[in-house]
Structure 1
């Protein structure tokens, strides 16, 4: 990699700088990154989307783990002491194994965090009925990771889950704002509420789903709280860095951002602004030699 800055419109690539790594299987993590960058604008960031192998949701545990580890190690190689898995599927199926089996032995000075635990830690404050719903991809729902994590903090809460297999394709094909998306939004919301009509809090357990919030709110019964992960993860990261100055001190405060994709860079850039809220210029990267 080059050892100088390259101006890319409103963004800059700063090479050989210590950065916070943000990883997702594709575009969805950009919603989380947008909130993190707004909350903590002073730091350097590298975003990596594994678009060549997305979606992760329908892959096996072993495949998701391998893909996620390759991406984490690539970010480590760029000098990131901290990597955020801004992907629910990767957080559900790979995070714990990486934290327990890889970091202590191979990267003891690096840290990897996910998006499930920050949500699980605070969800209890948003429900009065102690009944919540989880809406996510098949991979996230089938992993039951939210059930396990929430139960650690709030064992009294009853959880119902609903997979939403059409939501990500609608969003990634820029169809989510069109009237045709209304059917699938209503379908999955109604299926969830039919499982438990006492649900008063729904967690959007996919980083794509914040783009559907306006449509979801039109369907939800009055009094049902809707939790997206973008601001939750950003606030959790801010607190983590306050509590771990040994990590925070290693991250350069250059306000620089780099975007990389394993897929086609032009295609990534064309879609990324929908999630990030600003123009994006990325570089293609081969994750495997």
Structure 2
């Protein structure tokens, strides 16, 4: 007898992964998903590689315990600091048939469809930028491209505190984008290297030259997952397809519900879980 089918796990340190989940739900409405937010220990962006890896592994194992065969790290920091180690070291120990995928590789693969100058900008948390994951992945696939990064430590707190439309958001968005474009005026494609940033996308577009295309990860990651399951029918067969979505948080369920309504434009039922 094979293992029972399970939902697709979606993990983030906070709420940003809900932008990825929203796209997954839109593009894959028949599939079941379990969203797990480690809100009690967010943000991950300024934590060490070792701590991010430890926390991410705990979340992945929890989702496996919930029956997931496939887990998406809908968090750039976790994808940058933990994904490779989990894939190479932990999955062979836990279960060689399970899979953990991230958001960085799909985003990088999509870049060539948009840039004509070969100059790409990346905005992200301090942790994602310091990991150099985007420049390294882009150089592997597109050695000719130039990548310029900008760490934006205030953007996530602005989103999570409901300040995305405040004058403070204008100040910090304009400041970081100005610094980025001053370093390379040929940038024509900007990767939002954090899943919170789509909630700032109107302001981001406002303070960028019109020639710059902004790549938001949700739709890219969802399309990549659809393609992945098409290419791996054995994994697709393990995915429940009843159109149900469950939400779990390591912190306050009430606080999560309010934030989820902001990200998903709908109310959700949330349960507490420990890691």
Tell me the residue number matched to 2:40.
52
Residue 178 of structure 1 and its aligned partner are, at CA, apart by: 2.0
Whether 1:38 and 2:26 are equivalent positions in the alignment is yes
Distance 1:199 1:28 in 2: 25
Whether 1:194 and 2:176 are equivalent positions in the alignment is no
Tell me the residue number matched to 1:77.
65
Match of 2:238 among 241, 246, 250: 250
Distance 1:276 1:83 in 2: 20
Which of structure 1's runs of 4+ aligned residues deviate more than 4 A? none
Match of 2:264 among 265, 276, 282: 276
Provide, for residues 225-255 of structure 1, a one-character-per-residue CA deviation record: whole Å limited to 9, x for no partner: 1111010000000000100000000111111
Secondary structure at the residue paired with 1:175? coil
Distance 2:254 2:93 in 1: 38
Tell me the residue number matched to 1:29.
17
Tell me the residue number matched to 2:216.
228
Secondary structure at the residue paired with 1:185? helix
Tell me the residue number matched to 2:194.
206
Match of 2:98 among 110, 113, 123: 110
Residue 275 of structure 1 and its aligned partner are, at CA, apart by: 1.3
- What pairs up with 1:141-160 in 2 under 5 angstroms? 141-160=129-148
Whether 1:183 and 2:171 are equivalent positions in the alignment is yes
Q: State the superposition RMSD in angstroms.
A: 0.9
Provide, for residues 179-213 of structure 1, a one-character-per-residue CA deviation record: whole Å limited to 9, x for no partner: 33111110011010011011111100000000111
Residue 286 of structure 1 and its aligned partner are, at CA, apart by: 0.9
Secondary structure at the residue paired with 2:261? helix
Tell me the residue number matched to 1:170.
158
Tell me the residue number matched to 2:7.
19
Tell me the residue number matched to 2:113.
125
**Alpha carbons 2:5, 2:238 under 8 Å: kept:** no
- Count of aligned pairs between the two proteins: 272
Secondary structure at the residue paired with 1:221? coil
Tell me the residue number matched to 1:215.
203
**Alpha carbons 1:34, 1:277 under 8 Å: kept:** no
Distance 1:91 1:51 in 2: 17
Residue 17 of structure 1 and its aligned partner are, at CA, apart by: 5.8
- In the superposition, the TM-score normalised over structure 1's length comes to 0.93
